[in-house]
Structure 1
Amino acid sequence: MNNEILAFGVIIVNYNSGELLAECVERLLRQNPVPDKVIIVDNASEDGSLALLPEYDNVYIVAVDENMGFAAANNIALSHLQNVDLVMTLNPDAFVQEGCLAALLSSAQKYPLFDSFACRMMKASNVLDGAGDSYHISGLVWRNQYGKVLQAKQMVEHGVFSPCAGAAVYRRKVFEEVGGFDESFFCYVEDIDLGYRLQLAGKQCMYIPGAVVEHIGSAISNKYPGFAVYHGHRNLVWTLFKNTPLILLLFMLPFHLIMTLTLLPVFVVRGQWRVYLRAKRDAFKDLPRVWAQRKSIQKMRRISLWRLLTLYNYRIFR
């Protein structure tokens, strides 16, 4: 175990999160140890949420003139965290529980070969909101164990595909090495996309059940109907085409098509089929740009195709 003291920075992206932001920061600064530095990037909020935030010595606000999205805002914040070893991305509606940061710091020292860490996210006292993220063979993604009652098997540390960026920790150096979040994604699936690139580069992710975060979930995006559907399902296409090695992409495309067609009736029932189809249309219209990104991504691949196949999820049902 490496006993080196690691500097810890936290990024919070705020956009009209109201009283949640102040609660998020207050819980964060109760931790022992406290973060060395907290950067809040405010995406041109109009709800006065910043005014509800007390002044703290180690909390810094970066205000931008427009809503740049989650991905770009995190990348901006990273430029203010050059002197830290670990970076945590934390949503304003995610509240760290006692001992969370200590568990993450301990794990980063305990697992030097792992470069990202997923928290145990909880919806309620005994209901999971997520235990790391999965990447399905069809290109669909989800948070592991979402909505499941907490059981002993979810209290075991193990490798996962990627962390949910609502409460994730990355080694800052490798975050920068793979290019950070893809800003064209704006919001949603950007964490899976980053996790995919990290896995391709041989950078693994560990789920840490002792790092507990209470997550309200979509507390902000739910205010904007269709937002999550559009960005999520557009970005699923981009993630698949950007990151998947060609031979595996050809293998996965039929499953991706089946998944896309299977979900269409679901969105018809929900009255969201127009935004769903628009997401797919826009995703494929922009594929030439996305395809051009593949060259540098595939050049950095350090794991075998066989190893990559073992990282995908093959279950028919979650």
Structure 2
Amino acid sequence: MSESTPSAALPATVIIVNFNSGARLARCLDCLDRQTVADFEVVVVDNASADASLAEAGLAPEAAGRRNVRLIEAGRNAGFAAANNMAAETARGELLAFLNPDAYPEPGWLAELLKAAERYPGADAFGSRQLDAADPARLDGEGDVCSVFGIAYRGGFGHAAKSAPANGECFAPCAAAALVRRRVFLDLGGFDERFFCYSEDVDFGFRLRNAGGRAVQVNSAVVLHEGSGLTGRHSEFTVYHGQRNRIWMFYKNMPAGLYWATAPLRLTADLALFLKAAAAGKGGAYLRAMHAGYGGLGAFREDRRKIAALRRKSGAAIAAALCWSPLKLLRREADLRPLDDPSAANER
């Protein structure tokens, strides 16, 4: 990693948010030490971890420390969104690489993302190919998909990881391992801190798309990802925040005509998801999420007005970017679109 002076600009800053990550953080940082590019910095934001993860990673005050890794101590559990925003404000990199502590990049990961950022100057966000850390023969995700049924999901989750497809345009990159141009990230307000965690990356991708931007899935940039390795994929925490935030995200970003026209589809999905949560013993968390989600929409009315005023995409273009197939949703299929003109300038 680079040893340039603190005031010098760098091509990239890798940001990791840590909260009781255990040995995962050290493994993640070890993977960054093996990257095939060297000119980048690493910023770890610690959300008041109570475990030994910082010490195991060599970042605790009493430890010898890691060269070229800067630690920001949030002093509280600020959440994924706010912690990433903290680091983005002080980052020296022109590009921000968001990386979860339970995501383990292959040696060429960052180099491939940096090459894509140069190859596609008309794109502002770039996603990684995520393989299941427990079974690398299966996908953890190939770009986030936004379904008209009010559900966003990692495309290809659980599918066999066959040969990587060509790069394509995705609705949004999964922030477990994604690259974003820093200027654009800050101009759009970063991640929405009200979300705390979950769906903040799809919300950012939706805002980017509304503003005329685009996101590219880079399938040569590979990480092994545990996926909810810290919070638990089916925990009440995950159910509550995941379901609440998807309601906020759609209301905040969808054009009015499209939002109300597709309301019956989302309500149908709400009922189906409640039955699934209840069968898993998480019905209470789901109902609390519905109450907080729909009951909290008023806080996003001003956001809707601002996004609508700055929108550079038509309602038809937004509709075309959504996934309308219930079968794709049920199968969690990827939804990458061809890059017809990858070098075109943004519409913004």
Same fold (TM over 0.5): yes
Specify whether residues 51 and 41 from structure 1 end up closer, same or farther in structure 2 by C-alpha distance, changes over 3 A only: same
Equivalent in the alignment of 2:45: 41
CA distance in 1, matches of 2:110, 2:190: 22
CA distance in 1, matches of 2:22, 2:102: 10
CA distance in 1, matches of 2:201, 2:189: 12
DSSP 3-state at the match of 1:155? coil
Give 2:169's aligned amino acid: G
Give 1:207's aligned amino acid: Q
Of the three residues 104, 120, 123, the one matched with 2:129 is 120
Give 1:290's aligned amino acid: F
CA distance in 1, matches of 2:281, 2:39: 44
Equivalent in the alignment of 2:107: 98
Contact 1:28 1:34 in 2 (8 A): no
Specify whether residues 223 and 298 from structure 1 end up closer, same or farther in structure 2 by C-alpha distance, changes over 3 A only: closer
Contact 1:134 1:160 in 2 (8 A): yes
Give the 5 Å matches for 1:1-318.
7-34=11-38, 36-54=40-58, 55-81=65-91, 83-123=92-132, 124-152=135-163, 154-222=164-232, 225-317=235-327, 318=331
CA distance in 2, matches of 1:34, 1:254: 51
Give 1:196's aligned amino acid: F
Cα distance per residue 1:36-95 (max 9 Å; x no partner): 2111000000001111123223210001221010000000011111x3211011000000
Count of aligned residue pairs for this structure pair: 312
Specify whether residues 66 and 232 from structure 1 end up closer, same or farther in structure 2 by C-alpha distance, changes over 3 A only: same
Point out where structure 2 has 5 or more consecutive residues left out of the alignment: 1-8, 59-64, 332-348
Give 1:19's aligned amino acid: A
DSSP 3-state at the match of 2:90? coil
Contact 1:160 1:205 in 2 (8 A): yes
Contact 2:10 2:41 in 1 (8 A): no
Cα distance per residue 1:88-129 (max 9 Å; x no partner): 110000000021111111100000001100100000332110
Cα distance per residue 1:205-253 (max 9 Å; x no partner): 0011100000011111019930110000000110011000101111121
Cα distance per residue 1:152-181 (max 9 Å; x no partner): 4x4210000001110011011111111110
CA distance in 2, matches of 1:138, 1:92: 31
Contact 2:79 2:196 in 1 (8 A): yes
User: 1:136, CA displacement in angstroms?
Assistant: 0.3
CA distance in 2, matches of 1:134, 1:35: 32
What is the TM-score of this pair, normalised by structure 1? 0.95
Contact 2:15 2:45 in 1 (8 A): yes
What is the TM-score of this pair, normalised by structure 2? 0.87
DSSP 3-state at the match of 2:49? coil
User: 1:263, CA displacement in angstroms?
Assistant: 1.3
After superposing on structure 2, the runs of 4+ consecutive aligned residues of structure 1 that deviate more than 6 Å are none
Point out where structure 1 has 5 or more consecutive residues left out of the alignment: none
CA distance in 1, matches of 2:76, 2:292: 22
